[in-house]
């Protein structure tokens, strides 16, 4: 059975809700901040700031943590990419 197609706004809202309720509390424990920068063609681009920006584990967090969770709850998400905050003054978590 095929799921009904959702609007871009509905998908973005669900991604943001999951980030706020399930993902951000976990990365905040290490001083990190993750927010949705964009969603296009199945790719969710995350803005990594705080101690997530430049963190050695951020790729692992993106692919194993965030990508797996988002693709599980939001079938429209096919992959996740990250963009570091170029203005971050926080020390990355190692």
Q: What is the pLDDT of residues 74-92, one digit of tens each?
A: 999 999 999 887 776 665 5
Residue-range definition of the domain harbouring residue 41 = 9-84
In a domain? residue 64: yes
Instruction: Write out pLDDT tens, residues 3-46.
Output: 678 999 999 999 999 999 999 999 898 888 899 999 999 999 99
Please report the beta strands in 6-92, taking only residues with DSSP state E, as ranges in sequence order.
32-40, 43-50, 79-84
Asked whether 36 and 46 are in contact (CB, 8 A), the reply is yes
Number of domains in the chain: 1
- What span, in angstroms and rounded, lies between the C-alpha atoms of 72 and 32? 23
Residue 65 sits in a domain whose CATH number is: 3.30.300.130
């Amino acid at each position: 059975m095929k799921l009904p197609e959702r609007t871009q706004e509905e998908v973005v809202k669900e991604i943001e809700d999951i980030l706020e309720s399930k993902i951000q509390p976990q990365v905040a424990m290490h001083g990190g901040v993750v927010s949705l920068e964009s969603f296009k063609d199945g790719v969710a681009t995350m803005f990594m700031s705080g101690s997530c920006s430049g963190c050695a584990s951020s790729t692992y967090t993106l692919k194993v943590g965030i990508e797996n969770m988002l693709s599980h709850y939001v079938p429209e998400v096919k992959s996740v990419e990250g963009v570091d905050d170029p203005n971050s003054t926080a020390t990355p978590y190692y």
